[in-house]
Structure 1
């Protein structure tokens, strides 16, 4: 149908990530219509003389833009039904079903909508139950791990350019899931980002900002005692990065006037997009 050899398909899959959405247990590749459209664009671009590596980036970027335009917002009864399904799978410790539901929500509605309408309400409910009853930690942990896995499956941007965002936890902060959600949402917008992960010492954070020179630096904290350890004066003197904070740990704290405080994932993504 495409007029290219199977060996070319395998090469494009291995080198440029232009592979199928589905692989059978026996290792067979199953290309969906969206996969074929990306390959058609790859064929057209290479036929015009574009280098394969550049053509692959363009083909993926155009496909992501088309998908974003076609995604429907998630809300109302559809969101509540998705929550019920995810919570039911979580309480059964049905990890394969949670992974499948999370991946489908992200594909159909995008990271931001899935996060705000389903993942956060579901995880909050599970966390509240642990706090009230003193049991169910295993349910909360497996649900969080399933969401994390689905977020990390969102393809990262490969386009050249400045680092749009550097994401980091405050020193001794161990919760990384919200940062991964922001990173996945930025990947959908074809923006480059890096995450330093959990428990980043103040000196290490400063060193990373100096070396990577991100457009936006965002630091997450869920408790005030952890948030207070972030060295804002040193960070602002190191580079021209826009500094932002997120998480409940910053509530009520006085911060420099230049520090941004996005309250939602939507606001955090918008902050990065307006500057990078």
Structure 2
């Protein structure tokens, strides 16, 4: 950084935030530029930038802006740019194993609607009750955030989810993402970043969760609660589809970056969305979680026509086929029956997602429960 400091625009670009965010941090929390020469705009010094990076990191981790600012205003020499700044309780705000540990949990809320395709059918169970906190609120973070959050989110999250994942947060319209009274701090940080359309922070939080505790726990305790909360806001207000889209895209990118098994291992599992089904996030989570266990997969993606799926099954001879259906119109039993009728049917044919009829599935079709049990089942079936 030049000796004369950075302008507000340059500082914002360095941090990857909006200039309005810096103005808000200055006006509300006193984290403004300290270098001043008569007749010139104030400039951000190295020490100012250290404070701003501490502020940015802590708020992204779920610490309230006021608390984060209090720590950021402390001596910069105590705060390394590489992390470790204390949170409001005196510990590190970085995502830790405790943040994602397997605490007692409740099952997912059934009322979410939207587009991400997240359901406990291949979702994995529950939100992480770490501590008692309010739902993430749009006004808590930086400036320039939308006035309320409805999110274009998850119809994916809806569906086959047993009641209760995100607690008792009200589903009415408003300015919050309802994460429940005991949401994980990382999920709160992700919710704030999503409301700001802050892609870099969303990616940072999701990557930290995935690399720190694995796909399954990150999916259950960090990603799912936010997607479900956005879905509830969307149901209430039919707004902020862009929030869900950016979050879903970020989740997809992080899950796709999970290292895959060696290329010499032949995939024996075929994952696909049913004909006309566009939701794929749960399948992407399943593929990434299986990859962590060394199980390769073929993921065909959204809207796989029945004939194309049959061709893929006949050509590759998978041991396991998982067909995802989110919307009732896409969950046609005929698709399953046609797979069973091929000359060499898969050992396991699984119907996943809330789009399949509750009754009437062929008795030889497996229904998948939570993400962890789905991974165990497929890993065992393909291990021979």
TM-score in terms of structure 2 length: 0.51
State whether residues 206 and 222 of structure 2, in contact with CA within 8 Å, keep that contact through their aligned partners in structure 1.
Answer: no
Give the aligned partner of residue 224 of structure 1.
Answer: 328
Residue 239 of structure 2 aligns to a residue whose secondary structure is coil
State whether residues 258 and 291 of structure 2, in contact with CA within 8 Å, keep that contact through their aligned partners in structure 1.
Answer: yes
Matched, 1:243 2:349: yes
C-alpha separation in 2, matches of 1:230 and 1:244: 14
**Deviation by residue 1:144-202 (Cα, 9 ceiling, x = unmatched):** 11111110010111153442310000000001111110000011011110111111000
State whether residues 82 and 118 of structure 1, in contact with CA within 8 Å, keep that contact through their aligned partners in structure 2.
Answer: yes
Give the aligned partner of residue 82 of structure 1.
Answer: 186
Give the aligned partner of residue 315 of structure 2.
Answer: 211
State whether residues 218 and 244 of structure 1, in contact with CA within 8 Å, keep that contact through their aligned partners in structure 2.
Answer: yes
Residue 298 of structure 2 aligns to a residue whose secondary structure is strand
Give the aligned partner of residue 375 of structure 2.
Answer: 269
C-alpha separation in 1, matches of 2:255 and 2:245: 15
Root-mean-square deviation (CA), in Å? 1.8
Q: Gaps spanning 5+ residues in structure 1: where? A: 1-70
| Equivalent in 155, 161, 170 of residue 274 of structure 2 | 170
C-alpha separation in 1, matches of 2:101 and 2:334: 36
Q: Gaps spanning 5+ residues in structure 2: where? A: 1-98, 103-127, 132-182
Q: Which has the higher contact order (CA 8 A, sep 6+)?
A: 2
Structure-to-structure mapping, 1:49-64, within 5 angstroms: none
Gap change, CA 1:162 and 1:236, over 3 Å in 2: farther
Q: Which has the larger radius of gyration?
A: 2
C-alpha separation in 2, matches of 1:165 and 1:253: 25
TM-score in terms of structure 1 length: 0.71
Aligned length: 206
Shift of 1:267: 1.9
Structure-to-structure mapping, 1:107-256, within 5 angstroms: 107-158=211-262, 160-228=264-332, 230-238=334-342, 239-241=344-346, 242-256=348-362
User: Which is further off, 121-130 or 246-255?
Assistant: 246-255
Shift of 1:255: 0.7
